[in-house]
Structure 1
Amino acid sequence: MQQLETLVREASELANGHRVIPLQVLTDNETEVARVLQICNACRYCEGFCGVFPAMTRRLEFGKNDVNFLANLCHNCGACLHACQYAPPHEFGVNVPQAMTKVRLDTYSQYAWPPALGGLYRRNGLTLSLAMTAGLALFLMLTVASTGSLWGAVDSNFYGIFPHNTLVGLFAPIFLFAVLALGMGVRKFWHEESPGPTSAPAITESVRNALTLKYLDGGHGDGCNNEDDRFTLLRRRFHHLTFYGFMLCFAATSVATLYHYALNMPAPYGYTSLPKLLGITGGLALVAGTAGLFYLNLRRHPLQQDAAQKPMDRGFIALLFVTGASGLALMLAKGTGALPLALCIHLGSVMALFATMPYGKFAHGIFRAAALLKWSIERRQPSRLQLGDD
């Protein structure tokens, strides 16, 4: 133990001497990640916890690209903080989850497209998200009120309120821009440190790890640590409900689009139709998952998160919750006088979600998937140490 303490202390002193910056000038947050990783590289107690630590051991120094890659590979499960003997209040102050969280926000900002909009990540908070939803919903309400009635008996077809082509014209540009902006950002992230040629086994492994949230099991299957350091699988389960709920809702919209254009079967659809079954299941899962994540976010220990990012995290969770809940409310309002109002609220929340998607917490899923693929490719290749690149 004394030998380990000496080795780790030397690593800490080496890190504090700024020799962790091999080529590029790092930001303060990146420098902190490089410092704690130098200490972790000397200790290696957490090597089996997640992909971050075996990927770390393939490096002796940590440049900007390495730090950004490892930060996005981190799932912020908190297991390493719980196990670390050098965590605060120790003088080394090793806090991998918090340091990685700060760098992830820097990553999204640095790789944002267009670059001038990178600063939006830091202002995309709960208040902004809800205000945008309310503003867009109010605009739609005023539009409906100016051409008809916002409350009254209508049939079950909301295309009588907003024509299909009008909805396509509203949402298609926003959605396509969100996809383009996220794609351009992650493309730059990928090419900054290309791990090598992609292979089918690497793709299969990374997709499986992403879809099962493998690295939210704490490395031992018991899950993440909550506010009192007890292990729990709740974060993993609520993430699954949120992700798969969102994907089911997206699938419902995609199937309905196919019905409309390919099969000439316009909405509305019955409760037993495929679009409706997908939408109901997805909406319920999305509401349950986001409610759970919001509850866990409120209770999480301050050392396990970056306080500056709470507004962005909660804003994204709230937008997903309102989108799912308003979608279910719209279904229940079918054929009632509340349909126009419910439709405006739902469309406002969806538009706000798409508008903030490229510059909000949604980006973490895209960058994390890219990091998982990078790690699956990298671990199948000789390390830099084996190649003598150190």
Structure 2
Amino acid sequence: MQQLTRLIDEAQQLAAGQPASLLNSAEAEVARDLQICNACRYCEGFCAVFPAMTQRLEFGQADIHYLANLCHNCGACLHACQYAPPHEFAVNIPKAMAQVRQQSYTRFAWPGALGRLYHHAGLTVALALAGGLALFLLLLQALAPSVDSGNFYDYFPHHLLAGLFGPVFGFAVLALGLGVRRFWRDISPVAADMPAVLDAGHAVATLKYLDGGHGQGCTNADDATTLWRRRFHHFTFYGFLSCFAATITATGYHYLLGLPAPYALDSLPVLLGCAGGIGLLIGPAGLLWLNLQRDPQHGDVQQRPMDRGFIALLLLTSASGLLLPFARHSHVLGSLLAVHLGVVMALFITLPYGKFAHGIFRSAALLKWAIEKRQRR
């Protein structure tokens, strides 16, 4: 025990004396915590962070960003750590990592000005965009001739929707792509091979590291474990993919098969969209429920309004989208369609800067970890 205390003291001195003048306070805290963890090594079997940490003796800024995004915030290490608060070392890996993760989304965002704006007022920006775009579409509808049909294109012509959503979707893909490219060039100068890509892809698809390292899931404030956080993430992830598949299928129907919307309730685009909408109702609602009751030490409480704003956009998107097929012959169809389209546009505009970015950055971190594992072997 005395030897361990001596090692931890040396680690703290090393962390304090690092050329860490380049590190901000959140990054310096991660470096300090990891130096202590490197001396202790008790948690190295919990997730990918700790075996990756043991490959390093010092932690520069790139390593800190990499390990912070590799962390899945399962909370297992906090509850196992003998140096967690109220101990004088006050090691809180989930909180320190969450703060750096959020900073990394801003640091590598493209364009940087939008990343900084969303970082400082993410909830306000998301809700203002959704409300403003929905109001704009409602005004467009009010200026158009009155219609009473179940065809969405009678309210908003196809060329108008394509002209609005094409640039928005393209911008989201471009901004996310350039952001993660900046992140990857910062954390990993090496190229990935196919086995590493497959390994990382499996970890992403199964949310492997949301099992707490022991297969029982994330840790609650009462020290109990649950797999529900992993399950709700699965509903959200695959719900989003199903909605995206519905959009791609409908695009193929329209341009390749010459079959314009609306489609029957039993058609493939509608079935995929409904399945995705249900997933995006169950998943975000469950994550919001867990978020509301999670221990404040599990992550950064200052980010919760932004996290909940993103969840709210997902819920509004799925709820309004699911109502559309059943409101086709209702007088509220046009208004409901305008609200749905406004929320979807706001969601895609903010995707590269908010909570959604964590999935992209974490996938890149998992790919780097898959490469490191192969190099170590």
TM-score, structure 1 as length reference: 0.93
Matches within 5 A, 1:1-390: 1-15=1-15, 17-19=16-18, 21=20, 25-149=22-146, 154-194=148-188, 196-382=190-376
- Quick one: which amino acid aligns to residue 119 of structure 1? R
Q: CA deviation at 1:307?
A: 1.8
Aligned counterparts of 2:175 and 2:311: Cα–Cα separation in 1? 21
Q: CA deviation at 1:71?
A: 0.4
Q: CA deviation at 1:117?
A: 2.6
On the 8 A contact 1:20/1:34 being kept in 2, the answer is no
- Quick one: which amino acid aligns to residue 104 of structure 1? R
Aligned counterparts of 1:7 and 1:216: Cα–Cα separation in 2? 30
Aligned counterparts of 2:191 and 2:145: Cα–Cα separation in 1? 58
- Quick one: which amino acid aligns to residue 48 of structure 1? G
**Unaligned stretches of 5+ residues in structure 1:** 384-390
Change (3 A) 1:337 1:122: same
Deviations 1:230-288 (A, max 9, x none): 10111101111011101101110110000000010111111111101100111011011
- Quick one: which amino acid aligns to residue 284 of structure 1? I
Q: CA deviation at 1:196?
A: 2.3
On the 8 A contact 1:111/1:185 being kept in 2, the answer is yes
On the 8 A contact 2:265/2:325 being kept in 1, the answer is no
Helix, strand or coil: the match of 2:192? coil
- Quick one: which amino acid aligns to residue 368 of structure 1? R
On the 8 A contact 1:252/1:278 being kept in 2, the answer is yes
On the 8 A contact 1:112/1:185 being kept in 2, the answer is yes
Helix, strand or coil: the match of 2:375? coil
**Unaligned stretches of 5+ residues in structure 2:** none
Q: Which moved more, 1:312-321 or 1:188-197?
A: 188-197
Aligned counterparts of 1:367 and 1:39: Cα–Cα separation in 2? 25
Q: CA deviation at 1:148?
A: 3.2
- Quick one: which amino acid aligns to residue 324 of structure 1? S
On the 8 A contact 1:72/1:368 being kept in 2, the answer is yes
On the 8 A contact 1:126/1:318 being kept in 2, the answer is no
Deviations 1:312-344 (A, max 9, x none): 111111111110111001121112212101101
Q: CA deviation at 1:156?
A: 1.5
- Quick one: which amino acid aligns to residue 68 of structure 1? H
Change (3 A) 1:107 1:350: same
TM-score, structure 2 as length reference: 0.97
Helix, strand or coil: the match of 2:87? coil
On the 8 A contact 1:154/1:337 being kept in 2, the answer is yes
- Quick one: which amino acid aligns to residue 198 of structure 1? A
Helix, strand or coil: the match of 1:272? coil
Aligned counterparts of 1:9 and 1:330: Cα–Cα separation in 2? 61
Aligned counterparts of 1:18 and 1:184: Cα–Cα separation in 2? 34
Deviations 1:198-232 (A, max 9, x none): 11111111000001110100000010012322101
On the 8 A contact 2:118/2:125 being kept in 1, the answer is no
On the 8 A contact 2:65/2:187 being kept in 1, the answer is no
Aligned counterparts of 1:175 and 1:309: Cα–Cα separation in 2? 26
On the 8 A contact 2:30/2:93 being kept in 1, the answer is yes
Q: CA deviation at 1:12?
A: 2.3
Q: CA deviation at 1:20?
A: 6.5
Aligned counterparts of 1:6 and 1:80: Cα–Cα separation in 2? 22
- Quick one: which amino acid aligns to residue 288 of structure 2? F
Helix, strand or coil: the match of 1:192? helix
Which residue number corresponds to residue 388 of structure 1? none
Aligned counterparts of 2:191 and 2:106: Cα–Cα separation in 1? 27
Aligned counterparts of 2:240 and 2:24: Cα–Cα separation in 1? 34
On the 8 A contact 1:195/1:377 being kept in 2, the answer is no
Stretches (4+) displaced over 4 A: none
Change (3 A) 1:171 1:34: same
Q: CA deviation at 1:135?
A: 1.9
On the 8 A contact 1:286/1:321 being kept in 2, the answer is yes
Aligned counterparts of 1:197 and 1:351: Cα–Cα separation in 2? 34
Question: Alpha carbon RMSD of aligned pairs, Å?
Answer: 1.5
Aligned counterparts of 1:58 and 1:238: Cα–Cα separation in 2? 32
Q: CA deviation at 1:48?
A: 0.8
Q: CA deviation at 1:176?
A: 0.5
Q: CA deviation at 1:124?
A: 4.3
Helix, strand or coil: the match of 2:297? helix
Q: CA deviation at 1:123?
A: 3.0
